[in-house]
């Protein structure tokens, strides 16, 4: 899809965040437009996940302001517009006795309310969401019996079931093999282009991010770069982000 630069979905203005006396992020300003596929990269401990948690309302800024769909974060109520896919391995019980379909049905309760019964339309949305990630044929399988890549597709389907306008993904391919990663990135590109979904993804894989995303944000406490991924490599931003060694590895790997 074409990015609509007249429609701001997320506005982060002069945002800083600290845990006690430890500064994690300082003076971050960036705007995410409808249709963007934003990759956020940076070294370990650079504040990437903290920035994501601030944007989805899991944390509150120490300073600055965040707006979602034109509303200040403190007043925002339409949380179903935001989908969030965390790292698969964190807090997920492999023995959880739920089928694939039951996991995705959980995504409908975000917009309906927890104690409302699902109706025909809800089940149609669940089926559509599973088809979009090519997991409908696995609907009766237990989630714990799937491979890591298949589980992540189910978690994306759960996010899609809420019919969001933007999906946030926190290092979704950690612990997944290279072939599965490639299939996963193909799926994300399809969701971005064909379903008009705005995507915001954290990754440690710089090469993939420069190839897959439409926008790249380099974060190491402050925002070092936010623009076209190709220009990031051409400039000396990676050197500022990681140091000389990383830059040498990337440029030599690309030849």
Burial of residue 116 (CB within 10 Å: 0-12, 13-18, 19+) is: exposed
Q: How confident is the model at residue 79 (pLDDT cuts 50, 70, 90)?
A: confident
Contacts of 136 (CB under 8 A, 6+ apart): 127, 130
Per-residue confidence (pLDDT) for residue 115, from 0 to 100: 67
Q: In this structure, is the dihedral angle defined by the CA atoms of residues 90, 95, 101 and 107, taken in order, positive or negative?
A: negative
Per-residue confidence (pLDDT) for residue 249, from 0 to 100: 45
Both tokens of residue 219? Answer: 């974060």
Planar angle of CA 54, 56, 57, nearest 5 degrees:
65
Per-residue confidence (pLDDT) for residue 88, from 0 to 100: 60
Q: Phi first, then psi: what are they for 142, rounded to 5°?
A: -70, 140
| Mean pLDDT within 36-40 | 94
Write the DSSP string, 70-135. Answer: TEEGGG---GGGEEEE--TTTT--TT---BHHHHHHHHHHHHH-TTSPP-HHHHHHHHHHHHHTT-
Per-residue confidence (pLDDT) for residue 89, from 0 to 100: 47
C-alpha closest to that of 90 among 169, 2, 198: 169
All structural domains of the chain: 4-254 (3.40.50.300)
Q: In this structure, is the dihedral angle defined by the CA atoms of residues 83, 86, 91 and 92, taken in order, positive or negative?
A: positive
Q: How confident is the model at residue 82 (pLDDT cuts 50, 70, 90)?
A: very high
User: d(Cα 192, Cα 195) in Å, to the nearest integer?
Assistant: 6
Q: How confident is the model at residue 2 (pLDDT cuts 50, 70, 90)?
A: low
Per-residue confidence (pLDDT) for residue 253, from 0 to 100: 42
What is the residue-averaged pLDDT of the chain? 85
Cross-strand bridge partners of residue 19: 22
Cross-strand bridge partners of residue 17: 25
Question: Which has the higher per-residue pLDDT, 235 or 118?
Answer: 118
Q: How confident is the model at residue 112 (pLDDT cuts 50, 70, 90)?
A: low
Kindly tell me if the per-residue pLDDT of 235 is higher than 90: no
- Out of 12-21, 51-60, 94-103, pick the least confident: 94-103
Kindly tell me if the per-residue pLDDT of 246 is higher than 90: no
Kindly tell me if the per-residue pLDDT of 87 is higher than 80: no
* Residues 133 and 188 sit within 8 Å (Cβ to Cβ): no
Q: Are strands 82-85 and 222-227 parallel, antiparallel or unpaired?
A: unpaired
C-alpha closest to that of 147 among 94, 200, 214, 206: 94
Per-residue confidence (pLDDT) for residue 92, from 0 to 100: 57
| Mean pLDDT within 209-217 | 90
Instruction: Please give the share of the chain, as a percent, with pLDDT higher than 90.
Output: 51
């Amino acid at each position: 899809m074409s990015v609509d630069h007249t429609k701001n979905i997320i506005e982060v203005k002069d945002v800083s965040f600290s845990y006690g006396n430890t500064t994690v992020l300082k003076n971050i300003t960036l705007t995410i437009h409808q249709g963007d596929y934003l990759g956020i990269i940076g070294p370990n401990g650079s504040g990437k996940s903290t920035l994501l948690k601030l944007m989805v309302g899991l944390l509150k800024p120490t300073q600055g302001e965040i707006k979602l769909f034109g509303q200040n974060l403190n007043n925002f109520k339409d949380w179903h517009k935001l989908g969030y896919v965390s790292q698969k391995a964190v807090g997920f019980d492999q023995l959880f006795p739920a089928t694939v379909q039951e996991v995705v049905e959980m995504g409908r309760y975000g917009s309906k309310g927890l104690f409302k019964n699902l109706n025909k339309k809800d089940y149609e949305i669940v089926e559509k969401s599973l088809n979009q990630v090519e997991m409908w044929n696995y609907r009766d399988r237990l989630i714990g019996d799937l491979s890591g890549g298949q589980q992540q597709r189910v978690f994306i389907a759960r996010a899609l079931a809420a019919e969001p306008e933007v999906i946030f993904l926190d290092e979704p391919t950690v612990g997944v093999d290279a072939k599965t990663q490639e299939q996963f990135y193909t799926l994300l590109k399809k969701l971005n282009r064909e379903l008009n979904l705005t995507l915001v993804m954290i990754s440690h894989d710089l090469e993939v991010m420069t190839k897959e995303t439409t926008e790249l944000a380099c974060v190491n406490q402050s925002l070092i770069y936010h623009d076209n991924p190709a220009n990031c490599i051409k400039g000396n931003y990676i050197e500022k982000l990681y140091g000389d060694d990383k830059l040498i590895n990337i440029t030599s790997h690309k030849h």
